[in-house]
Structure 1
Amino acid sequence: MIVCVAVVGHQNNPLYIQSFTEADDALKLHHIVHCSLDVVDERVNNPKKSGPTLNETFLGLLYPTENYKVYGYLTNTKVKFILVTTDLDVRDADVRNFFRRFHSAYVDAVSNPFHVPAG
């Protein structure tokens, strides 16, 4: 089950963060998203250590916590998508598919001529 989705700009400025849990967990999930940005930067800046090539937009599992798994995705414009899930046995193919659809929805929203960019 997805508990949080975040869109983070190329300067690590939050563009969109949505939690799908109680208000008490929202702050914890925002902290998890913020901490995951360090892992994204490490993987992007050290591609030899992390495995994926520079063309790979799906960053995979960033890190697991006791109750959550955090996945990352990087667009060509360096916008980051972060997904936090409670499903501890989710398949990478399902997460890739989610990120492709989410990226498509993001592109549609940003391509709208009436869209006002944040930050």
Structure 2
Amino acid sequence: MSLLKNINKTSRQIAKSSEDYINATKDYVELKTFEQINKVFALLFKSFIIGSLLLMVLILLIIESIMLLEDLLGSIHYALLLSSGVLFVITILIYLFRKPLIEGRVIKMVSKTFFSTE
């Protein structure tokens, strides 16, 4: 009878340990999910702020370059045509090299934060 009591006691301890492990794992997954969501929203917010400021700078640079080209070329039409052509070429180059320039870096950055054990 003592053997059955020991087995019963051991099985209860195993069940309790398993339950504690499951609860701890659940808490860890919740915290890790919160951490990842927090990092994503922080990254989006920072990207929005920095991107907005860079967009304003880019617009001012384009306006100033058009004014400079107008003085050099003597025509606003040629200045606008040249500046839009340059922007089009830059856009095509970024599109062609988007995988190594953008997607590869994003994947590396996200994988570092997602798979870190800190």
Q: TM-score under structure 1 normalisation?
A: 0.26
Structure showing the higher strand proportion among its residues:
1
Q: TM-score under structure 2 normalisation?
A: 0.26
